[in-house]
Chains A and B, each alone.
Chain A
């Protein structure tokens, strides 16, 4: 089973580096995963991560991108409520890269 070492602790992850135990997540771990992903976390990045985690806590799945975009627009202003901006934050794809940093499972299916 692949794992990730961070600050002396071992975290179980899947082959693509997604945390397997969701309750092991914290902001420091998120920051470390972001570093590996070469994503520099700004306030906007954290808004995405926090929204994803809130949504997941309620629905047990990440939100549709459109829902995320709208939420972002409401938090950061309408000029930032678009998919393009989301891809600027998370170039490898908001659903997959942002979910990874947020400590959520990778959405899989026909997506």
Chain B
């Protein structure tokens, strides 16, 4: 209940390798999962009496299931390339947040129980017993990682470090030692259908309000249809789009684009969540259970096309995993990507000249674009390499006169995480989140100082929530953060052109 103390780094415009501060964030811990949430997800409700044996067993099972994990645990040579690539180390200065050191928490236990040399030689080969202290370190530091995979870009062996965090979290869940934020949210998806726990009538009343609000404030008449069986397009978007600011401004943007495209479209009260926190805990069954609602949504609505809203990790799942989890999408029109990102959809219309956009509507802004990690490093858009970098920027440039990119080592696949991804967007971790955002904030400050940037555009619900929260700590206005389709919403001239 005590107020969480926060310490805000001073921005200088460039991020340098910090002097280590041993244990700097060792006391910042996620809340432990609640029994009811753990049980609902199929995990033990509390720490098992034989947790040690079970943890080793689970690790062995995962190694058998995922050959990649075995390779990642074996091949690290501790070269140190990753050490200064993690925003959490750069921001917190805690050496345990160096990716190699974080992974070592798991590797030392792996060596001790599952390698011959570790069983025989123990500490001589950096193998260590699994103790309650280690377990608490796992729970602390594997939840100070956002699974953003920036360090993986720089790893000469290509180790996917997020897979290691996911494995550690999966082991923690298997022994009844989960994290509250993620498990509570997945439980809400199981029972109500979306991360926020918004029942259908609440979504409907909110959509009605937004339609009225758009009409009152802009005069535009748009629709936000829900559960329209037989609509051409089913839009699956994060539930934050129905609830939070600035997320909802992008929802208004999608509605205007669909209207101008002249397509019938709908949301689904059943498939009312694009997000899938199952990925954050690395559990395939949970991830499939969450994704199943999308499959069922398609069966209910029977659309021709499946379009996906602005949500980063969800797009990675949709683009990279949906086909395995809930595919194939044989009932959809094969002439379109399934799923298709809303940015691909809008970009396509812009290229065809089907949208009239008034760039001067965004003349107040000097816009920059934050590549969200799961889109940048875990997915793609369009049919060209790097489309996920090009397409959102092309949309932005079509909606405003002033666009500038942040420093090259902080964008595209080198992008810094917002500091809130991967299941750590929770209040008790606010200090780590603020510090984790520091490298991104420094890049923003630099472009603000040199080019006057004042609008931080992005396509991820978590990034939007994290940055609107973090910006004020650094002395910036939360209104500087907004979606790409928020810019579209402002620039689009309704009735200008119609049809595809």
Contacting A at CB under 8 A, from B204-232, are 205-206, 209-210, 213
Question: Which chain A residues (55-111) contact chain B, with CB distance < 8 Å?
Answer: 59-61, 63-67, 70, 83, 93, 95-96, 106-111
Check: B7 CB closer than 8 A to any chain A CB: no
Q: In the complex, what residues of B have CB within 8 A of residue A83's CB?
A: 245
Which A residues lie within 8 Å of B188 (CB)? 109
Judge whether B457 is part of the interface by a CB distance below 8 angstroms: no
**Interface residues on chain B, number (Cβ under 8 Å):** 40
A15 and B238 CA atoms in complex are apart in Å by 26
- Determine how close the nearest CB of chain A comes to the CB of B313; give it in whole angstroms: 9
Q: Would B196 and A15 count as touching, CB distance under 8 A?
A: no
A16–B428 touching, CB < 8 Å: yes
Closest beta carbon of chain A to B471's beta carbon, Å? 13
Given contacts A4-B1, A13-B1, A61-B197, contact A108 B185 (CB under 8 A): yes
Q: Is the C-beta of B436 less than 8 angstroms from some C-beta in chain A? A: no
B195 in contact with A109 (CB, 8 Å)? yes
Task: Check A2 for interface membership: any CB of B closer than 8 A.
Answer: yes
User: Does B449 sit at the interface, judged by CB under 8 A?
Assistant: no
User: Interface 1/0s, chain B 25-50, versus A by CB < 8 A?
Assistant: 00000010000000000000000000
* Set of chain A residues within 8 Å of B469, measured between Cβ atoms: 93
Instruction: Name the contact of B196 in the complex, choosing from A16, A70, A96, A111 (C-beta under 8 A).
Output: A111
Which of B85-93, B338-346, B460-468 forms part of the interface with chain A? B460-468
How far does the alpha carbon of A63 sit from the alpha carbon of B31 in the complex, in Å?
Answer: 26
Interface size on A, as a range, is: 20 to 34
Name the distance in Å between A10's Cβ and chain B's nearest Cβ: 13
Residues on B with beta carbons closer than 8 Å to the beta carbon of A63? 206
What residues of chain A lie closer than 8 Å to B184, measured between beta carbons? 108
Is B258 interfacial (CB-CB < 8 Å)? no
Query: What CA separation (Å) do A47 and B242 show in the bound complex?
Result: 23
- Give the interface SS of chain A, mostly helix, strand, loop or mixed: loop
Contacts of A65 in B (CB 8 A): 244-245
**Cβ-defined contact, A60 with B213, below 8 A:** no
User: Measured between C-beta atoms, what is the minimum distance from B35 to chain A in Å?
Assistant: 11
Q: Does the CB pair B1–A110 fall under 8 Å?
A: no
The answer to whether B213 and A70 touch across the interface, beta carbons within 8 angstroms, is yes
A107 touches B196 (CB 8 A): yes
Within 8 A of A (CB), among B1-58: 1, 31
Report the Cα distance A66→B206, complex, angstroms: 9
Contact partners of B195 in chain A: CB under 8 A:
108-110
Q: How far is the CB of A43 from chain B (nearest CB, A)?
A: 25
Confirm or deny: B243 has a beta carbon within 8 angstroms of a beta carbon on chain A. yes
In the complex, what distance in Å separates the CA atom of A77 from the CA atom of B466?
31
Whether B202 contacts A59 by the Cβ 8 Å rule is: yes
The yes or no answer to B427 lying at the interface (CB within 8 A) is yes
Within 8 A of B (CB), among A10-65: 13, 15-17, 36, 59-61, 63-65
Which B residues form the contact surface with A (CB < 8 A)?
1, 31, 180-181, 184-185, 188, 194-199, 201-202, 205-206, 209-210, 213, 238-240, 242-245, 247-248, 275, 311, 425-428, 461-462, 464-465, 469
Contacts A66-B248, A109-B275 aside, 13 further interface pairs with beta carbons under 8 A come to: A15-B1, A64-B209, A64-B248, A83-B245, A96-B427, A107-B196, A108-B184, A108-B195, A109-B197, A109-B239, A110-B247, A110-B311, A111-B196
